[in-house]
Amino acid sequence: MAAFGARAGALAAEHADALVSDQPVGDVVELFNQRTGGGKPVYGQIPVSYGADYDEAVQNAYRLWKHGTTGWKVMAELPGPVNFEASAKTARPEDVAEAVPCGNDIDHYLATVQQWADAGFTHMSFLQIGADRQERFRDWARAELLPALRERFG
């Protein structure tokens, strides 16, 4: 477990009513649960790029979220926007598509949530990338994604 992960898990266990993470860090969840006795909620935040056209959704994520491919260890150390931009210069659209569920393939979203569930997360939050796609994502999530999640995870 990385030092920052252990510290975050320990701080959350001591001072918080829940743990929140933007990465599926099972070792941090395990530490949090050990120190709290378990039973507290563990929230995961997944960035997504919804769209009926997969390639367009990938390009949207690449344009707005390519800095997310560097991971928290890098992002936590960057002092400002110019540094985020510089760190993302080597990111490719396929790197972003690997890190962010894109399009409208329910199975891809379910597989991503499964990784988080396997790491011990009890609740999920989806962060739709791009203000212009929020309403379409909410409509699709209500109609398709949430029922599929309930069917699989209860």
DSSP string, 40-93: S-EEEEEEEEE-SSHHHHHHHHHHHHGGGGG-HHHHTT--SHHHHHHHTTT--H
Q: Tens digits of per-residue pLDDT, 96-134?
A: 999 999 999 999 999 999 999 999 999 999 999 999 999
Q: Say how many residues make up the chain.
A: 154
* pTM, entire model: 0.86
Residue 5 has what pLDDT?
A: 74
Strand partners of residue 47: 127
The DSSP call for residue 90 is: T
CA gap 82, 36 in Å, rounded: 39
Q: Across residues 83-95, what is the average pLDDT?
A: 76
CA gap 14, 60 in Å, rounded: 39
Domain spans of the chain, in order of start: 38-153
CA gap 66, 49 in Å, rounded: 12
102 phi and psi, to 5 degrees?
-125, 150
Residue 120 has what pLDDT?
A: 97
Q: Tens digits of per-residue pLDDT, 49-80?
A: 999 999 999 999 999 988 777 665 555 565 66
